[in-house]
Amino acid sequence: MRYRTMKWDKKKMCEILSNTSFVLIKPRDYGSVVAIECNPAVRPGGYGSEPVRHSYGNFKLKESSYALWLCHKGKLERLAHGHSHDKQSASVIATFVARVIGYANMMNWKIDSVKLAWGSYTAGVYLALFHEDKVHLFEMTYTFGETKYQEERLIGFAVKYLGHGIGSYDDNTLVVFLADRSIAIQLKPREACGKVIENELITIHHVLSMKKIKLKHEKVQKQR
């Protein structure tokens, strides 16, 4: 998933929002969380026909899709986008983001960036707050409804302040330890922008074992 940062342009955003359903949440003074979801209107030709597009800069949003934006430091950052038949999904995610940012403001954190990470089907939605060289991760669980298209059904909040439950696996991977599993988040170089590796729900024992193997390998190399 790629993330773009754009300047906040209310006029252009209003052009998009004129034909969409959306929610705007302001968590204190940090910024605005904007969840945009196009209304999947009935189109000639049925589901497979070419959808109407709403463009903002280089980003195009199709009908039946949603996008989540965050206004931060005068710029509009796209946190996530995807296909959705559930009209409430983007709004619920936006509420989750706003709740976490509200908590961060209450803790007087100076937030550097906010990134959204996605787990596998059995995991959830994870929000990482980066500030002062620290990472704080929050979780919201979700499940898929048993339907033809397997829509996302967000089933409430399970916000967990993990704090010390975060460790670095290597230069490009962040391992987050939960109570019953660990999650590997791949980080881009020089940028705290991550996506949870699909189906990479590894155990804490496995992570520690791989660390031991790596250390053992380095020790052998030094001896040689």
pLDDT tens profile 136-159: 666 665 544 433 323 333 333 333
Q: Cα–Cα–Cα angle for 136, 88, 41, nearest 5°?
A: 135
Say what the pTM is.
0.47
Q: Does 48 score more than 60 pLDDT?
A: no
Close Cβ partners of 110 (under 8 Å, ≥ 6 residues apart)? 131, 132
| Residues 95-120, mean pLDDT to the nearest whole number | 69
Comparison of pLDDT for 28 and 74, the residue scoring more: 74
Cα distance between residue 133 and residue 103, in whole Å: 18
pLDDT tens profile 52-76: 333 333 344 444 556 666 766 656 6
Would you place residue 171 in the very low, low, confident or very high pLDDT band (cuts 50, 70, 90)? very low
- The H-or-E segment that residue 37 falls in is strand 31-38
Close Cβ partners of 176 (under 8 Å, ≥ 6 residues apart)? 126, 137, 162, 165, 166, 182, 183, 185
Among 55, 57, 48, residue whose Cα is nearest residue 19 = 55
Q: Does 105 score more than 50 pLDDT?
A: yes
Query: Average pLDDT, whole number, for the chain?
Result: 49
What is the reported pLDDT for 112?
72
Among 84, 70, 73, 76, residue whose Cα is nearest residue 21 = 84
Cα distance between residue 181 and residue 74, in whole Å: 37
What is the reported pLDDT for 69?
67
| Residues 40-63, mean pLDDT to the nearest whole number | 37
What is the reported pLDDT for 118?
55
What is the reported pLDDT for 114?
72
**Residues linked to residue 194 through DSSP beta bridges, in sequence order:** 187
